Structure 1
Amino acid sequence: MCRYTVLAALCVTASSAFAGELEALQGESIDLGAYHGVVYYTEAGDDFRVVTTIAEGEAGSPVRFEVTLDEGRGLTISIPGRLDEPSQAVEISRTGGKLFVEGAEHAPQLVHAGK
C-alpha cells in the first residue's frame, strides 16, 4: 500500500504532460499511452540518480526504473504499440549538467517468422 501512496504523492507534486528540463527533486508527469508516471532525479556527487515510476491506469502495479546518469548519457523507456502502431517512449538525457525529458514516438517494428 505504501508504494501506491508514494506514487500518488509524486503525481500530486508533478505537472501534467512534460517535455523539457527537469530540476533536482522536481517530479514531472509522463504519459506513455495507457501508462502514466513520474520522473525525478537527485544529485549524487557528480552523477544524477534518475527515478522513473510508471503504472498502467489506476489499477496497474507500479514499476520503477532507476539509473545513475553521467554527463552525456541517457536512456529510453518505451511501451510497445499494437500491431502496425508505433510504440510510445520517453527519452531522458543529461547534457550540459541538466536533465532533459522528452516524449518520442518510434516506428512499429514488425517481426516475421522466417522459414
Structure 2
Amino acid sequence: MDTDRRAQWLRGVIDLCVLGALRDGESYGYEIARRLEAAGLGPVPGGTLYPVLLRLEKTGHVTADWRAGAGGPARKYYRISPQGRQTLADAGADWRRFTAGAGALMTGVATP
C-alpha cells in the first residue's frame, strides 16, 4: 500500500481507530500503536499517536492515569470513557456508511 495514501486516510479516522483499540480494555501508548499496526493500519509513530491520545483525553473521550512500571519507567494507561464509547458507536456507523458508498463508487457495485 502507498504509505502517503495510507497516512492521508489515517488522518481522517485515527481518533476512531484509537477509540476502537481501547474498546475492549485499557492500554498504554506503545500497545495501542501495536494494536493499530496489527489491524492493518501500518506503523503509527509516537509523534502521531500521543497528540491523538492527548486530544481524546482533553475532550473526555478517554481517561488516563500513570502507573509505576514493573522494572521500568511509569506508563500512562488510557481507557475509553462512556462519551468515547458513544462517539465510537455513532461515528463508527457514519464511517461504515461512508466507506460503503465510496467503495460502491470505486468498484461500480451498488450498496444495498
TM-score, structure 2 normalization: 0.22
Higher strand share: 1
Q: Which has the higher contact order (CA 8 A, sep 6+)?
A: 2
TM-score, structure 1 normalization: 0.22
Higher helix share: 2
